C-alpha cells in the first residue's frame, strides 16, 4: 500500500466518524472501565486514548472503574478466598479494607495519572466524595436445596439509595474528566463496596447521559457462551426477561443487564456492553457505522 493509499484510508475513517462526532458533541457518555482492559498495558493505554479523544471532540466522558482482577489478586496474596453470589463479591470487613486500598490507592490514581500524562485533566473521586453516592446494605435472597428462599449476607456490599451529581457537573463544566471508584458512604458513615456496573448506571441516570458503555471481557451477550458468533447485537426489555428465564444471563452478566435495564428506565439514551479486550472498543462503538457489542433498546 502506497503512502497516498494509506492517507486516503485514514481520511475515510475520519469522514465516517464526522457525523457521529457532530451528533455526540456536548453529550455526556459514562464509561464503566474494568476487566482485562485494566490489566493489559496496551489495552489500558487504548482506553485512555479513547477517553481523551472523546473529550477532545467535545464529548463529556465520565469514567467509573472496577478492579475485580486486582482485588482478587491482592486477596489471594493475603490468603483470603474470593466468594461471589449472583456476580457480587461477598465483602467482609477485611475484604472491604483491601478493596478500598486497591480501588482508591492504586487503580484510581493510576488512571488519573495516565490521563494527565497524555494531556487530559483527570480528577479522581470515590462515591464518598461530596456525598456522591449514599448506599445501604444490599439485601439478597437465594433458594436453598429445598427450594426455600433464605437471606444471604453479602457483608459490606451496598445498594445505592441516592446520587448527588453536583461535583460531577462542576468538574464537567470546567473541562475535567471525572474518574470514580465504586465505593459509597452509608448514612451513618459506613463504607460500602458497590458493583461498578451499578455505580456507572446510577451515575448515568443522575447525569441523564446520552450513552452508557460497559466494558467487559466478552464480546457482548451471547446466546450460546461457547459460540462467539451467537452475539445478540440488540436486545429489548422483553428479551431480557426471556433470556434470564432460559439461564442465558448468569453470573457476572446479571449485574450488567440489571444495570442496563435500570439505566434505560432512568432516562439514559442507550446502553452498550462492549468487549474491552478489543483495542479502541469505545471508538469503534461510537464513531463507526457498524458498532460492536450488544446494545439495549429503549423501553
Binding-site residues for substrate sit at: 67-68, 89, 193
DSSP string, the chain: --HHHHHHHHHHHHHHHHHHHHHHTT-EEEEEE-GGGGT-HHHHHHHHHHHHHHHHTT-EEEEEE--HHHHHHHHHHTT----EETTEE-B-HHHHHHHHIIIIIIIIHHHHHHHHHTT--EEEEETTGGG-EEEEEPP-EEE-TTS-EEE---BSBEEEEEE-THHHHHHHHTT-EEEEESEEE-TTS-EEE--HHHHHHHHHHHHT-SEEEEEESSSS-BSSTT-GGGB-SEE-HHHHHHHHHTT-S-TTHHHHHHHHHHHHHTT-SEEEEEETTSTTHHHHHHHSSS--SEEEPP-
Q: Which residues are annotated as a binding site?
A: 67-68, 89, 193
Amino acid at each position: 500500500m502506497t503512502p497516498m493509499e494509506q492517507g486516503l484510508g485514514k481520511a475515510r475513517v475520519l469522514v465516517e466518524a464526522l457525523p457521529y462526532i457532530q451528533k455526540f458533541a456536548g453529550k455526556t457518555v459514562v464509561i464503566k472501565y474494568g476487566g482485562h482492559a485494566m490489566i493489559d498495558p496496551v489495552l489500558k493505554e487504548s482506553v485512555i486514548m479513547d477517553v481523551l479523544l472523546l473529550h477532545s471532540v467535545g464529548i463529556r466522558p465520565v469514567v467509573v472503574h472496577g478492579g475485580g482482577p486486582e482485588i482478587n489478586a491482592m486477596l489471594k496474596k493475603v490468603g483470603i478466598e474470593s466468594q461471589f453470589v449472583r456476580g457480587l463479591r461477598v465483602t467482609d470487613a477485611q475484604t472491604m479494607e483491601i478493596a478500598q486500598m486497591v480501588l482508591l490507592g492504586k487503580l484510581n490514581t493510576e488512571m488519573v495519572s495516565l490521563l494527565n500524562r497524555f494531556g487530559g485533566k483527570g480528577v479522581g473521586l470515590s462515591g464518598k466524595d461530596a456525598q456522591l453516592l449514599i448506599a445501604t446494605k444490599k439485601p439478597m435472597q437465594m433458594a436453598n436445596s429445598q427450594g426455600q428462599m433464605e437471606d444471604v449476607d453479602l457483608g459490606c456490599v451496598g445498594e445505592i439509595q441516592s446520587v448527588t451529581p453536583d461535583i460531577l457537573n462542576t468538574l464537567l463544566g470546567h473541562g475535567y474528566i471525572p474518574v470514580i471508584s465504586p465505593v459509597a458512604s452509608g448514612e451513618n458513615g459506613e463504607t460500602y463496596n458497590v458493583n461498578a456496573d451499578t455505580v456507572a448506571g446510577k451515575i448515568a441516570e443522575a447525569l441523564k447521559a446520552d450513552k452508557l458503555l460497559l466494558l467487559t471481557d466478552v464480546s457482548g451477550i451471547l446466546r450460546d457462551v461457547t459460540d462467539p458468533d451467537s452475539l445478540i447485537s440488540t436486545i429489548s426489555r422483553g428479551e431480557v426477561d426471556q433470556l434470564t428465564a432460559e439461564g442465558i444471563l448468569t453470573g457476572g452478566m446479571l449485574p450488567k443487564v440489571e444495570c442496563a435495564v435500570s439505566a434505560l428506565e432512568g432516562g439514559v439514551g442507550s446502553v452498550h456492553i462492549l468487549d474491552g479486550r478489543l483495542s479502541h472498543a469505545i471508538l469503534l462503538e461510537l464513531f463507526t457505522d457498524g458498532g460492536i457489542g450488544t446494545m439495549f433498546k429503549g423501553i
